[in-house]
Amino acid sequence: MESNMSEQFVEIDNFGLELLENVDMMMEPQHSHEEVSSQEVLILIEKVILEIVTSLSKDEAPVLVLPNRSSWANVSFDNAVGLQMTSGSSVTTVRSNCSSSVTKFGHILKVLSTIYKLVQSNVYATKRDIYYNDTQLFGSQRTVDSIVDDISCMLKVPRRRLHVLATSKGFISGDLCYLEEDSTKVDCHSNSTATPVSSNVGGIRNIVSSAKFVLIVEKDATFQKLLDYDFCTKLCPCIMITGKGVPDVNSRLMVRKLWDTLHIPIFALVDADPYGIEIMCIYKYGSVAMSFEAHSLTVPSVMWLGLLPSDLHRLRVPEDALIPLTQRDQNKLTSLLKRPYLACQPAWQREMEMMQRSKVKAEIQSLASIAPDFLSRVYLPNKLRYGGWI
């Protein structure tokens, strides 16, 4: 049985060996800021407060200078890291004497104060905890989320070092066991229920797995279907993870953690549409907004397993299962084709140009129009058996 499985998935084994040969090149050293001590974080916050006090003592209105996290002009592309923020990036000035930014100035000081207390007392809190600590001040959870990322970027310190955690929305299942930071043992082998992705991925240790690969699944519905089919044990030992659409930071950290620990192939299964492709690109190359943490979030070894636009033609997916591209889809596709990382992905470029010409898209569920269990019984086994990834 074991030798039969090895023969069946020789392409995955060969690809895994290829990755191991290149692992040093792909494993960029982690940012030195990952190792920032609690004392250093406190000093960085004190420096910010000191600058504010100094401005006030001179009868000047204090300002905070934040790197601009929304501009493509502020990022550079490195094939081994993905999208990373450049050192000379443009900045946003948050003024305390300007009606359009004074509220944000107050929010930043409030969150800085909370972070200082957390780090000082060696206690962790979620972004949700911070929001509910003063809902009237912040107005929405999104405000807190953005402020925490701004502070992390401003101080050049990963969010975990600020003692701020985020509630995870992702799930993981398969051949995987590990210990949480508090020594809780987590076993992801269950066939019927998935395990929520940890809210403290940085604290995970003692990872044990004999998985041959990791499968990133874009949608929760597809993930659940594969879970119900018992995909991770019926085909071969593997790990499945979903960020349930656009991935949260914890799901991305978890994929990176698995890559750093196991060095096995990582495949992405996304819809054959511009937004599915963009989600896969976030796992592989990162995003502009989080480019300041690229070294701990991106996994450039991720491969596109499906659903490929060329698969739609090759498998003769029925026309009534295909969806015409909207103008919004076409604009997104045009934008994706201009991304800096596409230059080193000619096969991806060809697939996207094929979508552009055909003017149609398809969800993973469209394969059910061929046969109800086509995805789990035919499509994925054949793709993995014969090396159908790009």
Using alpha carbons, select from 260, 362, 242, 386 the residue that is nearest to residue 313.
362
What is the reported pLDDT for 2?
42
Residues 68 and 75: their CA atoms lie apart, in Å, by: 10
Of residues 206, 202, 226, the one with CA closest to residue 216:
226
Phi-psi bin for 238: left (phi > 0), alpha (psi -120 to 50), beta?
beta
Of 381, 349, 34, 13, nearest to 211 (Cα)? Answer: 13
At which residue do the structure tokens 């960029």 appear?
28
Taking every pair of Cα atoms in the chain, the longest distance, rounded to a whole number of angstroms, is 78
- Please give the radius of gyration of the chain, using alpha carbons only, rounded to the nearest integer: 23
Position 1 scores a pLDDT of 40
* Residue numbers in the chain where pLDDT is lower than 50: 1-6, 30-33
Adjacent-strand bridge partners of 174: 239
Whether 178 is catalytic: no
> What's the number of CA atoms in the CB half-sphere (13 Å) around residue 146?
14
Determine contact, residues 320/261, Cβ cutoff 8 Å: no
Show the tokens assigned to 182: 């508090």
Give the separation between CA 285 and CA 235, rounded to whole angstroms: 28
pLDDT, residue 80, reads 86
Cα–Cα distance list, 30 to 34, 40, 79, 134, 209 (Å): 7, 18, 15, 35, 23
Instruction: Give the integer Cα–Cα distance in Å for 126 and 109.
Output: 17
CB atoms within 10 A of CB 163: 20
Pick from 323, 320, 354, 324: nearest CA to 337: 354
Query: What is the pLDDT, as a whole number, of residue 25?
Result: 59
pLDDT tens digits, one per residue of 149-184: 999 999 989 888 999 998 899 999 999 999 998 889
Question: What would the two tokens of residue 3 be?
Answer: 């030798």
Active-site residue among 124, 132, 178, 229?
132
Phi and psi dihedrals of 169, rounded to 5?
A: -115, -10
Closest CA to 236 of 269, 211, 216, 265: 211
| Helix and strand totals (H; E) in the chain | 18, 17
What's the DSSP call for residue 205? E
pLDDT tens for 82-105 read 888 887 768 888 999 988 899 999
Helix (H) or strand (E) holding 241: strand 239-242
Q: What is the Cα–Cα distance from 302 to 347, expressed in whole angstroms?
A: 14
